[in-house]
Structure 1
Amino acid sequence: MTTLFIKNMVCNRCIMVVQNELDKLGFDVKNIKLGEVMLAKEPTPEEKSNLDKVLIPLGFEIIDDKKSRIIEQIKNIIIDLVHHQDNDIKTNLSGVLSSKLYYDYNYLSNLFSEVEGTTIEKYFIAQKIEKVKELLVYDELSLSEIAFRLNYSSVAYLSNQFKKVTGLTPSHFKQIKVDKRKPLDSL
């Protein structure tokens, strides 16, 4: 078995698209999740090249170097925490990343900052704010319910952080009804 790491897989639709392309090319996929594909056998250089040719136009790419793989894994863990695990963000982010990636958090933090030009914490906040925007646009939850769901200590803290990142209050954002959300892979 071998694992391929794929950049920009940020949602279940991404998993479905990559799975579909792998199936078309005849790969024996054992498991697929955000950013990772487990194959029954190591692909030949030609198979890897063919896979690259179909993935790149779709916005994905195979990651070969170790540092890029770690960065992508950090992003995928954060995206999964924020967008797919309602109110499970109660644990310490540094602890979650360290335990899932088996690296000291200081190493992960320094690597992320060096490569991405921003901190893990700022990336995490950006993801949370995008989730807040999504929930505000859906207009199904109150701000208090959104704060609880995303594990903010208070509505005031959520509002302050939202304004700091977007320049708007959540209520003003909701009023203008303009979808100012960004695709997750562009954060």
Structure 2
Amino acid sequence: MATQFQHRLVGTIILVALGVIFLPDLLDGKQPDMPEEVVSIPLRPELEPAQAVVAKPAASAETWTLEEVKEAPPEPPAVVEPPPRVVQVTPPAPAAEPVRPAPAPKPVIEKTPAPAKPAPAGGDFIVQLGAFRNADNVNALVRKLKAAGYRVQTAPAVPRQGELNRVWVGPDAKARLEQQLPALERLTGLKGRVMAK
């Protein structure tokens, strides 16, 4: 025995189905049917049938009527070919060999020996602070040290991401760099070591 809920459910489903089926037709209303315009395109254009041209026997004086002139095909104009042009080709006269100017004497350049590089004003020792693979950390450390007044160098000169980048301070005298070690450690948090360049 079906319950009252099941009856209501079936009724609701039937009403929804009827609404879906008939409601669009009711709301749409009647619209006049628009005649469809059909244009037929011929597969092959119809050509006028070719008319046979009847040649009249030649008489001493030719007389044509107006209808005959209309029916007669026009005569193609005679094609007159121009006589061939003769072009004489004369070989070019041999060019005189160009006169070359005498080579200019080469300037004498005296080589002066390059001046010897002055020794660094302090010594041949550096404080190596560390080696880093992160280029951003290297750049930040270099900025911090330069702002504090230190001479900072890196190898390679332009830090590269993912490669080993060394950072050092110097060159200077060994004694002076050893005195700077505590200040560098406080500034950077890195324990550097003094080594020969």
TM-score, normalization: structure 1?
Answer: 0.27
The structure where helix makes up a greater share of residues is 1
